[in-house]
């Protein structure tokens, strides 16, 4: 298969490319990423280096293009020259709090950029070409806003976003549905729940907590410790993406005889929310076990309980029944195992890369 992965230097995108190279054969994979400076570009280049090293001898090909999905002419050239059969759009401006102060970047990447991808998929069959057989794109658990009903189901209303980031992701879902209906593009949106793991995003809580704890700083726990998150290990996210991308929604007719858009939405989450205080406690234990914090370290002395931040929600909790029904899969990595793998990676990262600062 010819597979285009946007956001290929990002956390999920890089792990997806690695999984395809290591577990499958016969793919021609193109990765696209603008390598922006939202967080340390060295981590993105580290991920790309790992992909490049993993490719030889796998029976697959890998090529990386540095560019922005908001650049319509570039996207058109990539689609015209590569003719992807599967498109996995993971490129986006991430971060709930960053969207409050930097809305322009969200409009450019999450709205204009995604529109460019949809238009390229639409025209991919021009001139009798086979066209894009499946568009898989990243949505987010943030679309659920402050819904009080848990666990969150894809059938729930998501009309009250509490952040601009969430609003852009909901907009992506609506755009994808419209293009699926109008132009018969098989599309699947995936609502990811609090993804974590090795070589993750430094703006995520577990990464930032680790850096502050090792620097002797206090860590702020929002909503006075009463927030709960459905932490989902990156390998589980990637396994879900791989299963979904190989099984596009089928074109079919509805009961009224009219065509039903080949469009689906799924949650990918662990289905077991954990309080932030318990999360921090486990992280501290793993940092001690790895020798990064001293024996007897009491993480409670470093916690500062503070009010809820704008854009945050009290709880995230995924209902993955649809994913289990259609793909026989649900995430299963427990938090301690996942954090242990992150801490092991971070210790090596700290030794090799942080020492250069």
Q: What is the pLDDT of residues 9-60, one digit of tens each?
A: 999 999 999 999 999 999 999 999 999 999 999 999 999 999 999 999 999 9
Residue 163 maps to a domain: yes
Higher pLDDT, 315 or 258: 315
Neighbouring CB atoms inside 10 A of 336's CB total: 12
Identify the pLDDT of residue 357. Answer: 56
Higher pLDDT, 254 or 34: 34
Distance between CA atoms of 283 and 301, rounded to whole angstroms? 14
Share of the chain above pLDDT 70, in %: 99
Residue 65 maps to a domain: yes
Identify the pLDDT of residue 314. Answer: 84
DSSP string, 58-121: SS-EEEEEE--TT-HHHHHHHHHHH--SEEEE------TTHHHH-HHHHIIIIIIIHHHHHHHH
Q: Does pLDDT of 151 surpass 90?
A: yes
pLDDT in tens, 311-339: 778 889 999 999 999 999 999 999 999 99
Residue 283 maps to a domain: no
Residue 77 half-sphere exposure toward CB, CA atoms < 13 A: 10
Answer left, alpha or beta for residue 197, where phi above 0 means left and psi between -120 and 50 means alpha. left
Identify the pLDDT of residue 81. Answer: 95
Q: Which domain holds residue 113?
A: 2-193+233-270+317-332
Residue 343 maps to a domain: no
Identify the pLDDT of residue 356. Answer: 59
Residue 31 maps to a domain: yes
Confidence of residue 135 (pLDDT cuts 50, 70, 90): very high
Residue 265 maps to a domain: yes
Nearest C-alpha neighbor of 326 from the set 250, 215, 226: 250
Contact between 318 and 266 under an 8 Å Cβ cutoff? The reply is: no
Distance between CA atoms of 79 and 130, rounded to whole angstroms? 12
Residue 227 maps to a domain: no
Strand 195-196 and strand 61-66: the pairing is: unpaired
Task: Specify whether 165 is catalytic.
Answer: yes
Selecting among 115, 165, 196, 266, the annotated active-site residue is: 165
Q: Does pLDDT of 104 surpass 80?
A: yes
Distance between CA atoms of 96 and 175, rounded to whole angstroms? 21
* Alpha helix stretches (DSSP H) within the chain: 11-23, 41-54, 72-82, 98-101, 103-106, 114-123, 164-183, 205-214, 234-245, 276-289, 321-327, 335-352
Report helix, strand or coil for 230: coil
Instruction: Look up the CATH number of the domain holding residue 180.
Output: 3.40.50.720
Q: Does pLDDT of 250 surpass 70?
A: yes
Q: Calculate the CA dihedral of residues 78, 167, 140, 85 and round it to 10 degrees.
A: -20
Number of domains in the chain: 1
Report the pLDDT averaged over residues 175-193: 96
Residue 324 maps to a domain: yes
Report the mean per-residue pLDDT for the chain: 94
Distance between CA atoms of 212 and 171, rounded to whole angstroms? 35
pLDDT in tens, 202-212: 999 999 999 99
């Amino acid at each position: 298969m010819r597979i285009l992965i946007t956001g290929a230097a990002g956390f999920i995108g890089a792990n997806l490319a690695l999984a395809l190279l290591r577990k499958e054969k016969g793919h021609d994979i193109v990765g696209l990423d603008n390598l922006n400076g939202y967080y340390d570009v060295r981590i993105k280049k580290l991920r790309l280096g790992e992909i490049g090293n993993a490719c030889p001898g796998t029976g697959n090909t890998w090529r990386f293009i540095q560019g922005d999905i908001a650049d319509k002419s570039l996207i058109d050239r990539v689609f015209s020259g590569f003719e992807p059969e599967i498109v996995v759009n993971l490129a986006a401006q991430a971060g709930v709090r960053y969207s409050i102060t930097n809305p322009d970047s969200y409009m450019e990447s999450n709205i204009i950029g995604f529109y460019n991808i949809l238009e390229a998929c639409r025209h991919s069959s021009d001139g009798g070409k086979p066209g894009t057989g499946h568009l898989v794109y990243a949505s987010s658990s943030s679309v659920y806003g402050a819904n009080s009903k848990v666990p969150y189901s894809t059938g729930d209303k998501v009309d009250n976003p509490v952040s601009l980031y969430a609003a852009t992701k909901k907009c992506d879902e609506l755009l994808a549905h419209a293009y699926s209906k109008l132009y018969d593009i098989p599309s699947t949106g995936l609502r990811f729940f609090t993804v974590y793991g090795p070589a993750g995003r430094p703006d995520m809580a577990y990464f930032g907590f680790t850096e502050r704890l090792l620097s002797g700083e206090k860590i702020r726990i929002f909503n006075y410790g009463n927030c709960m998150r459905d932490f989902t290990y990156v390998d589980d996210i990637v396994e879900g993406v791989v299963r979904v991308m190989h099984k596009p929604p089928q074109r079919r007719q509805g009961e009224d005889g009219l065509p039903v858009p080949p469009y689906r939405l799924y949650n990918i989450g662990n289905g077991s929310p954990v309080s932030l205080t318990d999360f921090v406690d486990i992280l501290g234990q793993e940092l001690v076990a790895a020798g990064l914090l001293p024996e007897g370290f009491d993480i409670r002395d470093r916690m500062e309980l503070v009010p809820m931040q704008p854009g945050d929600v009290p709880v995230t909790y995924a209902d993955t029944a649809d994913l289990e029904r259609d793909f026989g899969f649900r995430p299963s990595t427990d938090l301690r195992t996942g954090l242990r793998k992150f801490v092991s990676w971070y210790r090596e990262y700290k030794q090799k890369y942080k020492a250069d600062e």
